Amino acid sequence: MHPVVGIGRLLAGLERFWRDDVRAGALAWLAGAVLVLVLSSLAWRGVSTLEAPVHSLLVGLLLWPAFSLRMLTAEVAAVEAALGRDLDEARRRLARLVSRDTRGLDAVGVRMAALETLTENLSDSLLAPLFYFVLFGLSGAWLYRYANTADAVWGYRTPRYRRWGRLAARVDDLLNWIPARLAALLLGPLGLAALHREASRTPSPNAGWPMGALALALGVRLEKRGVYVLNSSGRAPEPADLRRALARVQRAAALTYALAALVSWGRWGV
């Protein structure tokens, strides 16, 4: 019954109209977006007629499933714990969080991938939904979550989705442009020139910002073989670095919640 699971089923249903065509994929994405927008707008309109504190409570209940950072931090911590027991177990746990093949990764490679997904998802799983909630209410938060989920399902450049998922990938890039840069500033208040230099090393226009910020802040190297190296002069991450990263992400999340609450109270009364 989780709304993100519902979005996944919606996307799977829309694939019944699949054709290896950019326009077909764009129309399918738009059809799903309209449905999510209508449902979230109706929910937003319904709770807006209620008085506090019921109004605030229901908004919170409807908004909360759009976040997944708490689950992610627990899973990343579990990857590090598994590394202390068995490398294969750590690889299997990591495979639940990342799209890359984890079977050939050594312990350092597993830790690097865990750090990367942790920081990237500070933006995707918390900051961005809250950012669009502050701007547009529940409709903004859930339309973002739809776009992000569609990119995760359709946006990869596999032979099947290269054309079908083009709009899904472009919209996700656009929506994450500001949140990714805000996440980088929250993770490590470093010089913009250094952040931009590291971020530009990744193929993604957004993912490199929070990952590069963490690499610089911790003094570690983050690498995806054959794709990018961030902070190449840094040392290999150690177990303590993952704990430090979790603490940074949790502080950034707390600050994000506080700022969003302050702004949304003035804007939406919640």
Q: Hey, what amino acid is at 131?
A: F
Asked whether residue 17 carries a pLDDT value surpassing 90, the answer given is no
| Cα angle 225, 230, 236; round to 5 | 75
Task: Report pLDDT digits (tens) over 162-214.
Answer: 889 999 999 999 999 999 999 999 997 678 888 999 999 999 999 999 999 99
Distance CA 270, CA 268 (A): 6
The pLDDT assigned to 266 comes to 76
Distance CA 77, CA 72 (A): 9
- For residue 218, the enclosing domain spans 3-268
User: Is residue 5 classed exposed, middle or buried when 0-12, 13-18 and 19+ CB atoms within 10 A define those classes?
Assistant: exposed
Structure tokens that stand for 44 in this block: 């937003």
Provide the β-strand partners of residue 224: 228
- Asked, as a colleague might, if the bond just before 53 is cis with ω within 30 of 0, I would say yes
Query: Residue 228 is inside which H or E element, if any?
Result: strand 228-230
The pLDDT assigned to 189 comes to 67
- Which residue, 211, 209, 202, 148, is CA-closest to 174? 148
The pLDDT assigned to 1 comes to 66
Distance CA 99, CA 83 (A): 19
Task: State what percent of residues in the chain have pLDDT above 90.
Answer: 71
Give whole-number Cα distances, 74 to 10, 120, 147, 162, 180, in Å.
28, 15, 24, 33, 21
| Residue 158 vs residue 8, higher pLDDT | 8
Averaged pLDDT for residues 232-249: 94
Distance CA 146, CA 124 (A): 12
Number of domains, the chain: 1
Provide the β-strand partners of residue 102: none
Residue 57: count of CB within 10 angstroms of its CB: 13
Whole-model pTM above 0.85? Answer: yes
Structure tokens that stand for 8 in this block: 């996944």
- Which residue, 73, 166, 52, 61, is CA-closest to 121? 73
Averaged pLDDT for residues 30-39: 96
Task: Report pLDDT digits (tens) over 120-170.
Answer: 999 999 999 999 999 999 999 999 999 999 999 998 767 778 889 999 999
CA dihedral of residues 38, 46, 63, 165 (deg, nearest 10): 0
